[in-house]
Chains A and B, each alone.
Chain A
Amino acid sequence: MTVGPAISAGPTAVIQEAPEPGRWRRMPIKAKVGAILLGFFVLVAIIGPEVTPYDPSYQNPSPAASMNGPSAAHLLGTTQSGQDVLSQLLVGIRLTLELAIIVGVVATALAVIVGVAAAFLGGFWDELLSLITNVFLVIPALPLLIVLLGYPTLRGQAPTIIVLSVLGWPWGARVIRAQTLAIRNRDFVAASQETGERTWRIIGFDIIPNEVSLIAASFVNTVLYAIGASVALAFIGLADLNSWSLGTMLYWAESQQALQLGAWWWFVPPGLAVALIGTALVLLNTGIDELGNPRLRDATSASRIAGHWLPPANPTPVLAEVSQHRGRVATFLNSFSRSSLLDEAGAGES
């Protein structure tokens, strides 16, 4: 595999389900395109800042260098103050991807901790953690982010990463909790318990490896959220405006009226980069989905059951098991969530 480190989460999911050779060929086409596209951007993020033709912040004082269209000297033209757009883009892709991937890792780790802890601790702690998860799923994140980043001390790369991570875990936590509850009741976990394995070992060696594709999907989703949120926040000026990210590029382009002045080369590249990275992630996620749920692939392919989360219209083996152990799952506080209420109500039918 020649793709960058950022997407290693995707292929590991494959390793788990198809350990035989030729797995790259077996991956759904969407996942392949997504992985290649994302790999390209990761490569740009790694190499780009080292090969920038100019210092992205260097302002060329000569009026002739202002707002030039693409040329041999400036492949993507220049800004109003004569800065090189390509150099800004190369640095910006790194900063944005770096932020998004760190947020993805931290928030996914939080999601795994909360989800597994809720499922394993059970009782009061499960109820509390589930309630917190459901509450933060409903509260809209962006307005809260804006309130927090409204304080200038919180602007900048590191504080933004922390705030985005703190608000980015609930979706993953909820999904992982459901899956953990299901796996917990499998025979191989019971066997480990019988042989006297300690809980952390069961979690680390029995539970987590069976959730890799779920964790990968959660990671990709979080990265997507982090890119969208950080770019939007920077666009309205809630970022360190002296640094070059895709968001701050768009902020400067907009505030200096790039589009109205016809300087598309200044404005379109950062937006297009965001859109392409986003598309790559969506494709990758769809690919992971198709791995887990063969029906989503073309109708002729053989169905292979994988423990992958899906909305409860068609309970996958996982959700079917969750519903069998409804008494444990639908604890009091968690029973206020919409889906568990419906699951509980459907108990009599099945």
Chain B
Amino acid sequence: MSFIVRRLIFYLVTAWVALTINFFIPRLMPGNAVQSILAKFPNLQPSAYHAIEAMLGVGHPGSLWHQYVTYVADILHFNFGTSVAEYPAQVSTLLAETLPWTITLVGTATVIAFLIGTALGIVAGWRHGGSLDRVLPGLMFLQAIPYFFFALILLELFALKVHVFPTGQGYGEGLIPGWHWDFIGSAIYHSLLPALTIVLTSIAGWMLQMRNVMITTIGEDYVVAAQAKGLPDRRVIFTYAARNALLPQLQGFGLAVGFVVSGALIMEIVFSYPGIGLLLLNAVTSNDYPLMQGIFLVITFAVLIANLIVDLIIVFVDPRARVREATR
């Protein structure tokens, strides 16, 4: 089995575990969506309970196994149920509206932070003890600030005090979303401050890890040998040291990306950014369980796909993964 095939199987197992957790949570928890609808409309008769249950598809007829099979079939058809808060909107519709915003913003910002952080880490590792090392504690402080708190401070400084950036939302008022420059320009403008928040708070983590691995890698014999041969620094740094130091950085991506996405979700709330995070807040405040669960699944799948992309990059960067591909 090749590297990629094995990883694919692992992601399928993980997706299945997430699905199954999602299936059991509402069945093990007290309180449910139907009660929250009944509470919302006090003039409904209690006899409406079963009708609402059927409407939302949260009634659990049949055996547990039967429910489970139906549930998995529904998910495979992207049917995540009906939202309680925005009834009668389908959860999948709401997700489709918000997901592109989040993926564009968080994806771009994460890639930028990763690239800058890794580059800074390479330099800091190479010039160990140099000036970049001295700003490390400052960066650690930035990293330790909760995303949303940092977002609020930036919002206060750059949108309310000094009117450089808009105060929130995904695009200017009165614009109709579509592929025209007015809208795209406005959307980019509105995403700058949220993106800056993600980049500034996550850069330190990437940089610190890259720096540490870089320092250990530079001590390796093959790097010393490359230097002894008189190769130019640039070649030693990038072709010999950084390329090898990059692997743990990529391997840690799975854990990190889940972390960054989680932080970004909360941050979106601060900017009233029309992404998944804001949707999640609405779901939480209105006890919209189907929506919360749909969001959990979609985020998990997105993280798994991001990991798969990293695996493809690893095959590209790491000869060992390719050797496996060739020999088996």
**Footprint of B on A, CB under 8 Å?**
30, 33, 131, 134-135, 137-144, 146-148, 150-154, 171, 228, 231-232, 235-238, 250, 254, 259-260, 267, 271, 274-279, 281-283, 286, 289, 293, 295-296, 298-299, 310-314, 335-339, 341-342, 344-346, 348-349
Contact = CB atoms under 8 A, between A and B. Distances in A.
B284 A146 contact: yes
Given A311-B251, A342-B251, A147 B320 contact: no
A250 to B, nearest CB: 7
B304 A138 contact: yes
Contact of A349 (B280, B295, B320): B320
A143 B280 contact: yes
B261 A140 contact: yes
A152 B289 CA distance: 11
Q: Which 7 pairs from chain A and chain B are nearest by CB?
A: A278-B144, A311-B248, A142-B262, A140-B258, A336-B10, A271-B149, A345-B320
Contacts of B255: 137-138, 171
A271 B300 CA distance: 28
A335 B143 CA distance: 33
Interface stretch (B86-94, B170-178, B216-224): B216-224
Contact of A313 (B13, B18, B149, B247): B247
Contacts of B11: 138
A139 B248 contact: no
Q: Mostly helix, strand, loop or mixed at chain B's interface?
A: helix
A236 B148 CA distance: 10
A313 B244 contact: yes
Interface stretch (B73-81, B192-200, B263-271): B263-271
B220 A314 contact: yes
A237 B30 CA distance: 19
Contacts of B30: 151, 153
Contacts of A154: 29
Contact of A314 (B153, B155, B217, B287): B217
B127 to A, nearest CB: 11
Contacts of A135: 10, 13-14, 17
Nearest to A349: B320
Contact of B258 (A139, A275, A276, A314): A139
Contacts of B280: 143, 146, 236
Given A140-B261, A141-B258, A274 B248 contact: no
B146 interface: yes
Contacts of B10: 134-135, 336-337
A231 B18 CA distance: 24
A150 B141 contact: no
Contacts of B17: 135, 139
A296 B296 contact: no
A295 B307 CA distance: 30
Interface stretch (B1-9, B60-68, B225-233): B1-9
Given A236-B284, A275-B146, A148 B213 contact: no
Q: Interface centre among A143, A148, A339, by most B CB within 10 Å? A: A143
Contacts of B13: 131, 135, 336
B48 to A, nearest CB: 22
A147 B303 contact: no
Contacts of A314: 213, 216-217, 219-220
A259 B250 CA distance: 38
A304 to B, nearest CB: 14
A311 B258 contact: no
22 contacts: A134-B10, A138-B258, A140-B261, A140-B299, A140-B300, A143-B262, A143-B295, A144-B296, A154-B29, A228-B263, A232-B148, A232-B262, A235-B146, A274-B144, A275-B144, A281-B144, A289-B212, A312-B248, A314-B213, A337-B10, A341-B6, A341-B324
